[in-house]
């Protein structure tokens, strides 16, 4: 049961519906003629809970595919490298953050050599800096703080 896509997704929708529904009743509901901020969210959340329940009910009647989560490593490395970009952008500058992000992300495929990783990171960093800073003029400092002061 706990490994079935339909059962779990139904549960997820019910929980999300409850989350949005409980949030919605904190806001003013208002009347139909003067809808408050909570009116539509509450209605939609109710529908989501019902749909989730229907999906769960259907999954009890008929087996669905079981979930294949796959390996955790790519998930962690990819999401981690995105967070790394956000975390290092101020300190390392645009070029530095780009370099670090690409380098970190490349580890999601273990079969690549160190030199290739470094070259790839350098290449991406230079190209991205040319496109986004030079050509498109994004207002971000390019160099790390310790260089630009």
Partner 1 sequence: MDLLNSLTLGFSVAVTWQNLIYCFLGVLMGTMVGVLPGLGPVTTVALLLPITFSLDPTSSLIMLAGIYYGAQYGGSTTAILVNLPGESSSVVTALDGYKLARKGRAGPALATAAIASFIAGTFSTLVVAGFAPMLGAVALKFGAAEYFSLIVFGLIASIILAQGSVLKALAMVVLGLLLGQVGTDVTSGVDRYTFGLSEMADGISFIALSMALFGIADVIINLQDKEQRSAGILENVGSLMPTRKDMRQTAPSIARGTVLGSLLGLLPGGGALLASFAAYTLERKVARKPREFGDGDIRGVAAPEAANNAGAQTSFIPMITLGLPANPVMAMMIGAMMIQGITPGPSVLRNQPDLVWGLIASMWIGNLMLLLLNLPLIRLWVALLKVPYSYMFPAIILFCCIGAYSVHNASFDVIMMAVLALAGFVLVKLKCEPAPLILGFILGPMLEENLRRALLISRGDFTIFLTKPISLVFLLVSLALLATILFPTVMEQRKRAMEV
- Binding interface with partner 1 (CB under 8 A): 5-6, 8-9, 12-13, 16, 20, 23, 27-28, 31-37, 40-41, 44-45, 47-48, 51-52, 54-55, 58, 64-65, 67-71, 74-75, 78-79, 81-83, 85-87, 89-90, 98, 101-103, 105-106, 108-109, 111-112, 116, 120-121, 124, 128, 131-132, 136-140
Measured from the Cβ of residue 142, the count of other Cβ atoms closer than 10 Å reads 17
Q: Which is nearer to partner 1, 33 or 149 (CB)?
A: 33
Q: How far apart are CA 86 and CA 48, in angstroms?
A: 33
Distance of closest approach, residue 35 Cβ to partner 1, in angstroms: 5
Question: 43-66 burial by CB neighbour count: b if 16+ within 10 A, else e?
Answer: eebeebbeebeebbeebeeeebee
Q: Which is nearer to partner 1, 68 or 114 (CB)?
A: 68
**For helices 72-106 and 114-128, angle between their N-to-C axes, nearest 10 degrees:** 70
Distance of closest approach, residue 111 Cβ to partner 1, in angstroms: 7
Q: How far apart are CA 64 and CA 51, in angstroms?
A: 17
């Amino acid at each position: 049961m706990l490994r079935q896509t339909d059962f779990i997704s139904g549960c997820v929708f019910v929980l999300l519906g409850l989350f949005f529904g409980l949030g919605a009743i904190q806001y003013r509901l208002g009347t139909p003629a003067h809808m408050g901020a909570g009116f539509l969210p509450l209605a939609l959340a109710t529908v989501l809970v019902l749909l989730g329940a229907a999906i769960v009910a259907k999954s009890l009647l008929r087996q669905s595919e079981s979930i294949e989560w796959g390996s955790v490593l790519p998930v962690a490395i990819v999401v981690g490298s995105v967070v790394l970009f956000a975390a290092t952008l101020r300190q390392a500058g645009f070029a530095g953050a780009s370099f670090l992000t690409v380098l970190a992300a490349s580890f999601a495929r273990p079969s690549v050599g160190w030199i290739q990783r470094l070259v790839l990171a350098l290449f991406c960093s230079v190209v991205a800096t040319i496109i986004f800073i030079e050509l498109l003029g994004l207002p971000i400092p390019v160099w790390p703080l310790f260089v630009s002061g």
